[in-house]
Amino acid sequence: MTPNETAPPDTAYADAATRLLRGRPATRDALLPLLHALQDEFGYIADAMIPVVAAALNLSRADVHGVVTFYHDFRRAPAGAHLVRLCRAESCQARGAATIERIATQRLGVTMGATSADGRVTVEPVYCLGLCATGPNALVDGRPVSRLDAAKLERIAAEVLA
Ligand code: FES
């Protein structure tokens, strides 16, 4: 779902939660897997999902909200049509990730963690992609890009802004 699409009704979240929990104990241990599965299915964790998940797992809304807001992996709004995730973890930082981030956000016209006004691209931080030896790294629409430099960023920008 992109920012310009309409959110599904809350019943869709409840139906999905029920389906995704099938065969699994509805305990706190299921919270992270359920949230990840919901994000995979709907593209983000909508506010309306929080009470649904809390009820499904017999947790408080505050518990669920705390987990959703603690982990960087959970998106609170639909991503843009293209998703650029820039690694901010230590190895990539040591290899110039801060400079890459500055160039990327300027070139793509969006701040870190935000989606462009036209819904074309979202830039998000990620904390290690397991490719530390070849940093700085990014995931562009799920595709890893290593040894990022200005030239590679220009190609990425041309691709996602086309
Ligand atoms: S620190 Fe960036 S991929 Fe591991």
> What is the CATH topology of the domain spanning 82-161?
Glutaredoxin (3.40.30)
Q: How far is the CA of 102 from the centre of ligand 1 (A)?
A: 17
**CB-based pocket (< 6 A), ligand 1:** 87, 89-92, 128-129, 131-132, 135, 137
Q: How far is the CA of 153 from the centre of ligand 1 (A)?
A: 17
Q: How far is the CA of 94 from the centre of ligand 1 (A)?
A: 10
Q: What is the mean pLDDT of each run of 10 residues along the chain (162 residues)?
A: 63 92 92 96 94 95 96 90 96 97 96 93 95 97 96 96 90
61 annotated as a binding-site residue: no
92 annotated as a binding-site residue: yes
Atom of ligand 1 nearest to the CA of 126: 2
43: CB partners within 8 A, 6+ apart: 1, 2, 75, 78, 79
Round to whole Å and give the CA distance between 99 and 96. Answer: 6
Say what the pLDDT of residue 132 is.
Answer: 97
87 annotated as a binding-site residue: yes
- Please state the three-class secondary structure of the chain as a single string: CCCCCCCCCHHHHHHHHHHHHCCCCCCHHHHHHHHHHHHHHHCCCCCCHHHHHHHHHCCCHHHHHHHHHHCCCCCCCCCCCEEEEEECCHHHHHCCHHHHHHHHHHHHCCCCCEECCCCCEEEEEECCCCCHHHCCCEEECCEEECCCCHHHHHHHHHHHHC
Say what the pLDDT of residue 4 is.
Answer: 52
Say what the pLDDT of residue 3 is.
Answer: 55
User: 115, 45, 118, 52: which is closest to 76 by C-alpha?
Assistant: 45
Say what the pLDDT of residue 10 is.
Answer: 75
Q: In the chain, where are the structural domains located?
A: 10-70, 82-161
Residues 5 and 43 sit within 8 Å (Cβ to Cβ): no
